[in-house]
Structure 1
Amino acid sequence: MASPNVLSTTIGTNVFQIGNIKWKQFNVDTSPKPLLVFTPTVEGTYPVILFCHGFAICNSYYSKLLGHITSHGFIVVAPQLFTLGLPMPGLCEVKFAGKVANWIAGELQPKISENVQENVQAKLDTIVLAGHSKGGKTAFAVALGHAETTLKFSSLIGIDPVAGPSKCKITRTLPHILTGKAQSFDLNMPVVVIGTGLGPETGNCFPIACAPDGVNHEEFFYECKPPCAHFVTKDYGHMDMLDDDVSSLLKCMCKNGIAPKDLTRRTLGGLVVAFLKAYLYNQWEDFKAILEDPNLARAKLEDPVFYP
């Protein structure tokens, strides 16, 4: 048996390491939108996360982050909702996210069975909504009922969510979900919002910040009702959780941190895993440890806020 001292150092830190569960990813082209599916290859039943990408970002650019989460015992479905060459209005994106959610309900399990030899089952009563940047706003919009879905969602994760280039309503993406009022979101589920400290700063080749004040993670958290939590990776930028081999255009659009990007991916992945372990499995040790000591994370965190 591990000594008490050894045990205390592992609680809250293992989530920031790659998990012990082997996994694979595969493509699906028969859903409403092309998908990347990340799934464990170890027999078991796993919760499903529907992850929405940011504006004009390929879903494959999140492979390391989503792989980290999968390795701790989750199935992640990442649709390619649109691309830079084929943008679509926010309302269409939200509708397609809802259609993918409905596809998950009926078609995900057969696809997993086709691609994984082991008996891996999708736990469809614990669907998690998640997204980054504009995709984070899309996840919120779906949770708020702006898409017709047959599923009930268990929790919501916003990674540096953004509602548009400014507070001006004319420039914000549809649907307009931000109200400017505290705890105005009518969400009957736990929420975690994870922001970046450099998101509100302009990048090297783009005059507008990727996560401007007034429409970024701070406003989203401000409008959440308990239970909700807020973390901020202080020294990292809006795109720093993407894989290292993303296009140079994306790298220069936003203000980037100077530390290794692997640290922010492991931090974001660990926060997601700890949050979901707490609310899906009632395993609170990691989440509480991180709230009490943010220095456990691999990237520097500002003081977290949690309203139970």
Structure 2
Amino acid sequence: MAGKEDSETFFSAATPLAFELGSLPTTAIPVDPSATDLTAPPKPVIITSPTVAGTYPVVLFFHGFYLRNYFYSDLCKILPPGGQVEVDDAGKVINWTSKNLKAHLPSSVNANGNYTSLVGHSRGGKTAFAVALGHAATLDPSIKFSALVGIDPVAGISKCIRTDPEILTYKPESFDLDMPVALCKILPPGGQVEVDDAGKVINWTSKNLKAHLPSSVNANGNYTSLVGHSRGGKTAFAVALGHAATLDPSIKFSALVGIDPVAGISKCIRTDPEILTYKPESFDLDMPVAVIGTGLGPKSNMLMPPCAPAEVNHEEFYIECKATKGHFVAADYGHMDMLDDNLPGFVGFMAGCMCKNGKRKKSEMRSFVGGIVVAFLKYSIWGEKSEIRQILKDPSVSPARLDPSPELEEASGYLV
């Protein structure tokens, strides 16, 4: 069941002024390294400065991993109007800022170095913490900071794979910082939160779905199936396996379908709850299960990592299922090829380009996925075997090429 996104955003009548665009006009001043200019920074920086005369605090902003400083131009416009001069980038730039910033500001504007704050996003957030903790050997020790803000700081891929310097100690209150610190979280909910939220939605559905259906339509809760794509496929499995603490235990499911389910980035980096055991037939499920996979899901898209990596994708999910179970793999399609055409917005753009995509029509992939789901649910709920058997006997009837050959294993053996 898909939820509908809100078409409007509502704000409290008392929206904090910090969230509003300030009244001071600003200017962006790019400054590049120069072999002939001794006052030039060691790396390219962008200074976002007020144009109104006055003395302002300094904020040093560090961009995220593999991002560009100009990616934050709109964000930077918010900071100076609140009374701050902002400098993007890190490292030796701080020393340069303390000595040379004045020369690059409007003549009527002064930067008060006594009020210098560190702000960073993603890997840049970790950089800000590292600087504050004294890990920048090049930093002039006379420079002091007034505050530290980490915006979704990231210290590595996992606890075992962290970037240098490794500043996390995994001991509470171990950071030796003599300044106020604020942390901002902008990531989506974690895996367990998603599973618990799914449980809440299922509970709501069992009690309230009827009120939202046409008067002539009834929903038979005795035939409730779980279907999910990608991380949502993993969520469906997690719910079926009993990991949703919020789920009403009286609710039972008739079937489970995972559409290219993904359990993490790799075997070593999985999302919570970690349901994969890497033991064949270890899933304790009392319902028929179908796993739909894609041939291109485990492949990289140029510089992007695979969207459905080996060891955490459909193959491992299927191996860990017990009969009754089915496996159907669209060989020539990618992880996102069952989505709509021409997805809107940035998220839609990213969804269309971040994964390895097939060259055939996405409409064929949608027909394939929809057909498998319908045929499998007919088989699971009502025992209708004709459609699923036809696909197993003659895979060429599928709009998408199936490789390896599809299979459906019952407790008594393979259905043929």
| Structural RMSD (CA) | 1.7
Q: Within the alignment, does 1:87 sit opposite 2:192 as a pair?
A: no
Supply the distance in 2 between the matched residues of 1:292 and 1:195 (Cα, whole angstroms): 19
Structure 2's unaligned 5+ residue stretches are: 7-185, 411-416
The residue aligned with 2:288 is 190
1:190/1:255 CA distance change after superposition, 3 Å? same
The AA in structure 1 aligned to 2:218 is Q
Within 5 A, what are the aligned runs for 1:120-269?
120-147=217-244, 148-150=246-248, 151-168=251-268, 171-206=269-304, 208-246=305-343, 247-269=348-370
Choose between structure 1 and 2 for higher RCO, CA contacts under 8 A separated by at least 6 residues.
Answer: 1
Q: In structure 1, what is the Cα distance between the partners aligned to 2:276 and 2:329?
A: 20
1: CA distance, partners of 2:4 / 2:241: 28
- The alpha-carbon deviation at position 86 of structure 1 amounts to 5.1
1:280 to 369, 381, 393: 381
Matched, 1:305 2:407: yes
AA at the equivalent of 2:407: V
Which has the greater radius of gyration? 2
Q: Which whole-Å CA distance do the structure 2 matches of 1:197 and 1:28 have between them?
A: 31
- After superposition, residues 13-162 of structure 1 pair within 5 angstroms as 27=4, 87-112=188-213, 116=214, 118-147=215-244, 148-150=246-248, 151-162=251-262
Judging changes above 3 Å, is the alpha-carbon distance between structure 1 residues 121 and 196 closer, same or farther for their aligned structure 2 residues?
same
Gaps of 5+ in 1: 1-24, 30-84
Once residues 277 and 263 of structure 1 are traced to their aligned partners in structure 2, the CA distance between those partners, rounded to angstroms, is: 21
Partner amino acid, structure 1, of 2:350: L
Contact in 1 for aligned 2:368/2:399 (Cα 8 Å): yes
The secondary structure found in structure 2 opposite 1:307 is strand
The structural deviation recorded for 1:111 is 1.1
**SS of the residue aligned with 2:220?**
strand
The structural deviation recorded for 1:103 is 0.4
Looking at structure 1, the residues matched to 333 and 204 of structure 2 have their Cα atoms a distance apart, in angstroms, of 35
Distance 1:111 1:173, change over 3 A: same
Provide the TM-score with structure 2 as the length reference. 0.52
Matched-pair identity in %:
52
Match of 1:230, SS state, is strand
3-state DSSP of counterpart to 1:98:
helix
Q: What whole-Å deviation, never above 9, does each CA across 1:222-276 have from its counterpart, x for those lacking one?
A: 0000000000000000000000022221111100000000000000000000001
Instruction: Please tell me whether residue 292 in structure 1 is matched to residue 397 in structure 2.
Output: no
Is the CA contact 2:299–2:356 (under 8 Å) kept in the aligned structure 1? Answer: yes
CA distance in 2 between partners of 1:28 and 1:199 (Å): 27
CA distance in 1, matches of 2:321, 2:339: 26
What SS does structure 2 have at the residue aligned with 1:97?
Answer: helix
CA displacement, residues 6-65 of structure 1 (integer Å, 9 cap, x when unaligned):
xxxxxxxxxxxxxxxxxxx99497xxxxxxxxxxxxxxxxxxxxxxxxxxxxxxxxxxxx
Q: Tell me which residue corresponds to 1:57.
A: none
Q: Distance in 2 between matches of 1:283 and 1:154?
A: 14
